[in-house]
Amino acid sequence: MQDEGALSDRQRRRMLRLAMLAATLPLANGRLLAQAAAAKPAIGIIGSGNVGSNLGRAWTRAGYAVMFSSLDLEADKRLATATGPTARAGTPQQAAAFGDVLLFAVPYGALPALGRELGTALRNKVVIDACNPFAQRDGAIAEQARTQGAGQVSARLLPGARVVRAFNAVPAARMSAVHETPGKVGMPIAGDDRAAVELVSRLVRDIGFEPVHVGGLAMGKHLMPGTPLAGEHAPERLREIASGLR
């Protein structure tokens, strides 16, 4: 479980940075910005394509501080500028250090290298695994993930992380629009770490989805396109579907 004292230290440092930023803004806007972002965990986004960018916009709208990262830092800087004052851009290493929670939204074939490159930066971090394995694109690691279960394989590829699988089978464009009808669309999530599941559930709910914990990481094999849990379902329907899966 993540050390609560370390998390508190990061939050205090972030509050100080935001307070300094607030001093450069009009008083009312600065106060609102500092109060909103300091009360919520920072989110580092590894992979700012369709899924990462839409979720980043949604969390920023909900008052979270996010850092976008990918292989194109200049594009991430433009994305952050367009997203809002609590968004910024950096390298994957910087995003991993910045985030209390990390979102991985990259081709599944990139996970082995990212796990090696980020190394100890992943230790005890809550990681949302939004990556889907496709054999034609990702090769042998995708076959392994589909056979053994994407959630469990992701946990091995990102050692030390507290992995929760989510955002795997809803269209990316909907991820930044569901807030318009909050609670109507269920979001299946799978994870073994209870505290991590609770935190991810909060992040899911804050952008308009209703989280549905379908089980441990072993159930991650069902959280991908083409499975019964894929697509948009009411929360009650997701629970019914999940009850028939193993």
Q: For the chain, how big is the Rg over CA atoms in Å? A: 17
| DSSP-assigned letters across all residues of 48-67 | -SHHHHHHHHHHHHTT--EE
Indicate if 19 and 124 belong to the same structural domain.
no
State the sign of the Cα–Cα–Cα–Cα dihedral 115, 92, 10, 210.
negative
Euclidean distance between the first and the last CA atom of the chain, given in angstroms as a whole number: 27
Same-domain pairing of 141 and 222: yes
Count how many domains the chain has.
2
pLDDT at 12: 54
User: And the tokens for 172?
Assistant: 């990316």
**Is 44 in the same domain as 120?**
yes
Residue 246: per-residue pLDDT: 76
Q: By residue range, what is the domain housing residue 169?
A: 40-243
Structure confidence at residue 93 (pLDDT): 97
Within this chain, do residues 172 and 222 fall inside the same structural domain, yes or no?
yes
pLDDT, mean of each 10-residue run, the chain (246 residues):
47 51 42 56 97 97 97 98 97 97 97 96 97 94 92 95 95 88 93 97 96 95 92 95 90
pLDDT in the model for residue 5: 41
Instruction: Say yes or no: 132 and 165 in one domain.
Output: yes
User: Is the domain of 125 the same as that of 75?
Assistant: yes
Note the pTM of the prediction, 2 decimals.
Answer: 0.84
Query: From CA 92, how far away is CA 229, in angstroms rounded?
Result: 30
Q: Among candidates 217, 230, 225, 204, which has minimal Cα distance to 55?
A: 204
| Residue 9 pLDDT | 61
| Whether residue 3 is found in the same domain as residue 89 | no
Are 5 and 51 within one domain?
no
57/17 same-domain check: no
Question: Do 150 and 220 fall into the same domain?
Answer: yes
One domain, residues 24 and 132: no
Residues 114 and 235 in one domain: yes
CATH of the domain at 224: 3.40.50.720
